[in-house]
Structure 1
């Protein structure tokens, strides 16, 4: 049973056929303890399942990409926040220093 393409990579169709044990266009026989159960999977059902899996795979890739972008934005915002906190602290110290100098000038007068 062929489950890979010419480059040796697994194909979605091949994997599905391997999982259900069915060659293209055929049904598979599943052996149980004392009897055989016939399990059929039509090509149309297989194609529909493949289409849904491809959509899910595409959606997962989109979500991974979106998550990566969101994480990058979060990192940028955190860095910007840290920078703004630092600038705020510097400004606070300068204002405190000016107030101290003004108080010192006021006491000298």
Structure 2
């Protein structure tokens, strides 16, 4: 699986987890479905391709301000919980975040 595809899966898992536990929704609301689609679109068009770093460490911030704030909110809440709900994805993400 490519790095981009893995990141798409991870961001979707994080948004789904946020909706399920924070919003008490089993499925993503339209707002968060838009956010997941937007994040995947940004990953598809990343200028660094397979050599990209994690988005937090990227020198180019390609998210629009509204979506950037929304994804930060999701990541802030979901990040610490990923080791419980998706440990493999959390470990891989942490590895790439620490890798330079």
Higher helix fraction (1 or 2) = 2
State the TM-score, normalized to the length of structure 1. Answer: 0.26
TM-score (norm 2): 0.27
Q: Which has the higher contact order (CA 8 A, sep 6+)?
A: 2
- Decide which structure has the larger Cα Rg and report it: 1
Instruction: Give the strand-richer structure, 1 or 2.
Output: 1
